[in-house]
Amino acid sequence: MWSEAPRIGVVGATGAVGREALAILAEWGVPADRVSAFASARSAGTLVPYGTGALRIGDGAHGAWHELDLVLQCAPTAIARTIVPRALDAGAAVVDASSAYRDDPDVPLVVPGVNGHLLDAAPRLIASPNCSTILLVTALDPIRRAFGIASITVSTYQAVSGAGAKGLEELRRLTRAALDGIDAAPAAFAEPCAFNCFSHNSPVDPTTGLNVEERKMIDESRKIWDAPGLRVNPTCIRVPVERAHSESVTVVLSRAASTADLRTALSGASSVCVVDDPATGRFPTPRRATGADAVLVGRIRPVPGAPTDSAGRSREFALWLSGDQLRKGAALNALQIAHRLSARCAVHVSHRFP
């Protein structure tokens, strides 16, 4: 697709996901002169860090998309709906981290280690899934391949930076205020996020009782696995963590397995890291997951009282995972898509890819 190092535009470069995308591109050694950074008119002309230097922000409303091979769309969904068609019209390929095109049947929704084969058709527009969904399917895909999955029940523990840079600022502001004995009003969330947990800040559908985040986890995992009837029962909760989401998962398999079988399946997946040491109490945590490319999985155990076969194997297991939602849950996944789009892409970091 690209005959030389791709010219990459990062839209939303001042935000939580865009900054992470720039950090990864710099880590991967992509030269600064191949990367353009865009944000809103408010930020145009300011600088964002890139490696040891900086990039000047351009106004996303006036991006010279025809000068780019790839656009990494990391601005909010409403902005994506304007910028993505312009970039496609100008001839760039687009990887969109927003939810604008995820449910479009003509747009592949890709987690490279799970359904990366969809990139073989060289689509021009690819959607990167919701962060909680990416972490869930990345952790469960090795189990699904080995034993099949009949249903999933999942509760999320989602970091405030999942709501962007403003969520992070709010946690810091409200935590400082609370420690100073001040009852500061929330702005980014309806509930105070410091020293608190609350139902995910997306609207609840009065008919289904599901909030938008939960709906995304159901619809997107079904689309990624091409499993329209898969039973997924999520409860999405925001917790006072800066970065990296965690999930408590109960999975019902199609075929019985032992705990050792699950560990073996998970240990063989490069995008998963088993962190499960009851002797030392070392399990996945958001802090441990922050900055990691892999999803950390631990506390792997059979559901108590679930039926077992004559060999003691069960179909029902519980596990706990933590994953960096700005990295594998957003920027890294989008860049892994970009990398897989072209074998000739100048991003030479194959050891990072599943």
Ligand X SMILES: NC(=O)c1ccc[n+]([C@@H]2O[C@H](COP(=O)([O-])OP(=O)(O)OC[C@H]3O[C@@H](n4cnc5c(N)ncnc54)[C@H](OP(=O)(O)O)[C@@H]3O)[C@@H](O)[C@H]2O)c1
Indicate which residues carry an active-site annotation. 131, 245
Instruction: Determine which residue in the list 5, 8, 17, 292 makes contact with ligand X, applying CB under 6 A.
Output: 17
According to the binding rule CB under 6 A, does residue 97 interact with ligand X? yes
Per-residue tokens: 76 = 């909010």
Q: Of 15-23, 171-179, 201-209, 259-267, which segment contacts ligand X by CB under 6 A? A: 15-23
Q: Of 23-31, 95-103, 113-121, 311-319, which segment contacts ligand X by CB under 6 A? A: 95-103
According to the binding rule CB under 6 A, does residue 341 interact with ligand X? no
Query: The dihedral of CA 190, 195, 196, 200: what is its sign?
Result: positive
CB of 5 or CB of 97, closer to ligand X:
97
According to the binding rule CB under 6 A, does residue 74 interact with ligand X? yes
According to the binding rule CB under 6 A, does residue 131 interact with ligand X? yes
According to the binding rule CB under 6 A, does residue 156 interact with ligand X? no
Size of the site for ligand X (CB under 6 A): 32
Q: Are 68 and 7 in contact (CB under 8 A)?
A: yes
Instruction: Determine which residue in the list 146, 150, 165, 252 makes contact with ligand X, applying CB under 6 A.
Output: 165
At its nearest, how many Å lie between ligand X and the CB of residue 94? 13
According to the binding rule CB under 6 A, does residue 12 interact with ligand X? yes
At its nearest, how many Å lie between ligand X and the CB of residue 92? 15
Instruction: Determine which residue in the list 29, 42, 117, 344 makes contact with ligand X, applying CB under 6 A.
Output: 42
Per-residue tokens: 345 = 């892409």
Per-residue tokens: 145 = 């391949």
According to the binding rule CB under 6 A, does residue 79 interact with ligand X? yes
Q: Are 224 and 116 in contact (CB under 8 A)?
A: no
CB of 15 or CB of 142, closer to ligand X:
15
Q: Are 91 and 64 in contact (CB under 8 A)?
A: no
Q: Of 71-79, 203-211, 260-268, 339-347, which segment contacts ligand X by CB under 6 A? A: 71-79
Residues forming the site for ligand X (CB under 6 A):
11-18, 38-40, 42-43, 60, 74-77, 79, 97-99, 131, 161-162, 164-166, 325-326, 329-330
